[in-house]
């Protein structure tokens, strides 16, 4: 799985908003806290607002905050808001991709991959990341020493 810079920044910005709770926070503060280029962040915050993840208000008391509590927004929600479906093959959903002959089972692999990603990304909320309190299902995966080994080039 490859996450684009846009998705990485969106996740970091959303987690930062979760960390601020119900306080309004400026884009400048998020950019500074997370080391995200300000112009890029503005574009991401717009996508998060359009995706129902964040909200904003103008004025001296304004800024940005999550549209609902951070424990009700998953990492998958944020990814979908800025990047679309979790797993795509050549821009299509896995169940819409078919292969001929010996490669036919690849469709099933892509669907299984999507299920695995959903199991993790939908179970982890922004609040859990902000509090460094990941679900047991995720922390158990990290206990496998092989999880930390890089394979291939």
Query: Is-contact 25 62, C-beta < 8 A?
Result: no
Residue 81 within any structural domain of the chain: yes
Question: What residues make up the domain containing 114?
Answer: 5-143
- pTM for the complete prediction? 0.89
Domain harbouring 80, CATH code:
1.10.10.10
* Domain presence at residue 12: yes
Domain total of the chain? 1
Residue at 149 is within a domain: no
Residue 61 lies in a domain: yes
Tens place of pLDDT per residue across the chain (153 aa): 788 999 999 999 999 999 999 999 999 999 999 999 999 999 999 999 999 999 999 988 889 999 999 999 999 999 999 998 888 888 888 888 889 999 999 999 998 998 999 999 999 999 999 999 999 999 999 999 888 888 876
153, part of any domain: no
């Amino acid at each position: 799985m490859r996450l684009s810079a846009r998705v990485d920044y969106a996740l970091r910005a959303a987690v930062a908003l979760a960390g601020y709770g119900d306080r309004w926070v400026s884009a400048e503060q998020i950019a500074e806290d997370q080391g995200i280029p300000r112009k890029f962040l503005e574009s991401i915050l717009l996508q998060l607002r359009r995706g129902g993840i964040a909200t904003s208000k103008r004025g001296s008391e304004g800024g940005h905050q999550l549209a609902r509590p951070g424990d009700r927004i998953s990492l998958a929600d944020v990814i979908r808001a800025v990047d679309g479906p979790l797993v795509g093959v050549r821009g299509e959903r896995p169940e819409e991709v078919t292969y001929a002959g010996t490669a036919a089972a690849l469709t099933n692999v892509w669907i299984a991959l999507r299920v695995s990603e959903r199991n993790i990304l939908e179970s982890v909320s922004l609040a859990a990341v902000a509090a460094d309190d990941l679900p047991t299902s995720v922390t158990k995966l990290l206990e496998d020493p092989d999880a930390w080994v890089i394979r291939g080039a």
